[in-house]
């Protein structure tokens, strides 16, 4: 959908909750754009609701009944006369049917078009598209594996270990490492069932597992006129069970030469699919600095503040401008980076068993440390319920260099107090004093030892 240049958006509905809803509202306020927030019964006391200009109860606690209820969201937008919907991340942000519905109802979807969302959401097709565009991809099965035998043949050709993945998966969900034929045979059916139940699509494929690699992604931005830029990379290798825990920019272990090749490949990839708005190309980088396409995320990512910190740019503002029909605010040569930023995701989980730990944030206090940004959807007294993801807050530490960012983070976590539920705070204090993290030479295997 093409928007005439000069059409200034007056009102946006945010189809999300908590931390990201607050973040989007904040930029909208600065741009003098009216906001409509939506909330489920579980979230009625959260701070973001009062920060929006209007708020609509969207449904019962389970996500399918509220934040993923497409008709309810569109009705709310129409009722409040919002012109555009910002989907945030997760929920419906990468659901092509929702993108289509938004547009069919005369609203602007703040993101790429349905065709691209659908293409990149099919991980098998995404790989083929990237290959055709000359972007290196992780060696894998040619197309989907429709049976255990097909998966095992593909795995044998690639060599174990392999990652068994759901084509409709992504974001670390729907994948399992298989070290040999037995593991793959055992995993295939249960993963396929899970894919069918969870994503509504049973297609599976296999990729070579690159262990001890680094997960490094590139932020790109495109406008409707075909301009594409990159905003450097983020190293997201610190993960547990494929869920990111810490992200930083620049990547402490990437050579400038590889950075240049990866950012160029990412721009090439975005151009090849006719991308528009914010996107992230995820790569895995092996020990020889060979890099391979993993997937493309057609939305704003949780860890975008790390990029904002080093570039001084507001990515939500860029999203709104592009969705309004404007061209990209800067050319590539005008985009520079300074210093270092690291984001820590504070999760409501037991630091030993890693089981989720919902509850009430009886105490939630943190110091003001220069260079620290805290993005949170909760306040003291808020309930962290079991219906959504376990993230309580993002803590982004910035400095002139990595050491300064690390020092500031350590000072912050030394004084942050959370009571009423368990969090992974102990992990941060441990990592910030461990040489394996401090020297920046870690890989995706860092938290496997936990």
Distance CA 45, CA 381 (A): 9
| Shortest spacing between CB 170 and another protein, in angstroms | 13
Q: Name which of 277 and 297 has its Cβ closer to another protein.
A: 297
∠ Cα 232 237 241 (to 5°):
135
Instruction: Considering the complex, state which of residue 400 and residue 450 has its C-beta at the smaller distance from another protein.
Output: 450
Residue 195 belongs to what H/E stretch?
helix 181-199
Q: Token pair for residue 395?
A: 């803590």
Q: Taking the complex as a whole, how short is the minimal distance between the CB of residue 65 and another protein, in angstroms?
A: 8
Q: Least distance to another protein from the beta carbon of 114, Å?
A: 24
Nearer to another protein, 153 or 243 (CB): 243
CB of 64 to another protein, least distance (A): 7
- 162 forms beta bridges with 178, 208
Please state the φ and ψ torsions of residue 54, each to the nearest 5 degrees.
Answer: -135, 155
Smaller CB separation from another protein, 62 or 143: 62
Phi, then psi, of 109 in degrees rounded to 5: -95, 125
Structure tokens at 427: 């992990």
As annotated, the active-site residues are 299
User: Looking at 189-339, which runs of residues are DSSP E strands?
Assistant: 204-208, 214-222, 228-240, 243-249, 277-285, 291-297
Q: Which residues of 6-19 are buried (b: 16+ CB within 10 A; e: fewer)?
A: eeebebbbbbbbbb
Residue tagged 């990729």 (tokens): 207
Peptide bond into 55 cis (omega under 30): no
- Shortest distance in whole angstroms from residue 68 CB to another protein: 11
Comparison of 62 and 274: residue with beta carbon closer to another protein? 62
Pick 46 or 220: Cβ nearer another protein = 46
Least distance between another protein and beta carbon 247 (Å):
16
CA distance 436 to 442: 6
Residues that bind another protein (CB under 8 A): 61-62, 64, 173, 190, 193-194, 196-198, 241, 243, 348-349, 354-356, 358, 385-390
8 Å CB contact between 180 and 222? no
Closest CA to 19 of 353, 393, 337: 393
In angstroms, the CA 396 to CA 361 distance is 20
């Amino acid at each position: 959908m093409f928007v005439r240049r000069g059409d200034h958006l007056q009102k946006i509905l945010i189809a999300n909750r908590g931390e990201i809803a607050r973040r989007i509202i904040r930029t909208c306020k600065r741009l003098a754009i009216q906001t409509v927030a939506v909330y489920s019964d579980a979230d009625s006391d959260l701070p973001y609701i009062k920060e929006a200009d209007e708020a609509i109860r969207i449904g019962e606690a389970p996500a399918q009944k509220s934040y993923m209820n497409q008709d309810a969201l569109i009705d709310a937008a129409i009722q409040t006369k919002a012109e555009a919907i910002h989907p945030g991340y997760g929920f419906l942000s990468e659901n092509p049917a929702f993108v289509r519905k938004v547009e069919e109802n005369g609203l602007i979807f703040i993101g790429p078009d349905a065709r691209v969302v659908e293409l990149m959401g099919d991980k098998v097709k995404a790989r083929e598209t990237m290959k055709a565009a000359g972007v290196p991809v992780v060696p894998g099965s040619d197309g989907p594996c429709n049976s255990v035998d097909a998966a095992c043949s593909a795995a044998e050709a690639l060599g174990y270990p392999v990652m068994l993945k759901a084509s409709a998966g992504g974001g670390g969900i729907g994948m399992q490492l298989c070290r040999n034929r037995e593991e793959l045979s055992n995993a295939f059916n249960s993963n396929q069932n899970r894919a069918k139940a969870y994503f509504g699509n049973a297609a599976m494929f296999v990729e070579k597992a690159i262990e001890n690699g680094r997960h490094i992604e590139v932020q790109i931005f495109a406008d409707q006129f075909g301009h594409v830029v990159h905003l450097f990379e983020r190293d997201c290798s610190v993960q547990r069970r494929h869920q990111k825990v810490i992200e930083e920019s620049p990547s402490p272990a990437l050579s400038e030469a590889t950075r240049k090749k990866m950012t160029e490949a990412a721009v090439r990839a975005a151009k090849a699919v006719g991308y528009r708005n914010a996107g992230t190309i995820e790569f895995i980088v092996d020990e020889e600095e060979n890099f391979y396409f993993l997937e493309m995320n057609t939305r704003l990512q949780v860890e975008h503040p790390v990029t904002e910190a080093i570039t001084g740019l507001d990515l939500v503002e860029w999203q709104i401008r592009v969705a309004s029909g404007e061209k990209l605010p800067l050319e590539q040569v005008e985009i520079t980076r300074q210093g270092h930023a690291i984001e820590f995701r504070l999760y409501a989980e037991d630091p030993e068993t890693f089981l989720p730990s919902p509850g009430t944030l009886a105490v939630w206090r943190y110091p003001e440390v220069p260079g620290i940004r805290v993005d949170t959807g909760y306040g003291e007294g808020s309930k962290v319920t079991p219906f959504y993801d376990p993230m309580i807050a993002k803590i982004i530490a910035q400095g002139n260099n990595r050491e300064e960012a690390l020092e500031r983070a350590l000072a912050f976590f030394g004084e942050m107090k959370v009571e009423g539920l368990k969090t992974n705070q102990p992990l941060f204090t441990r990592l910030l004093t461990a040489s394996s993290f401090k020297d920046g030479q870690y890989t995706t295997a860092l938290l496997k030892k936990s």
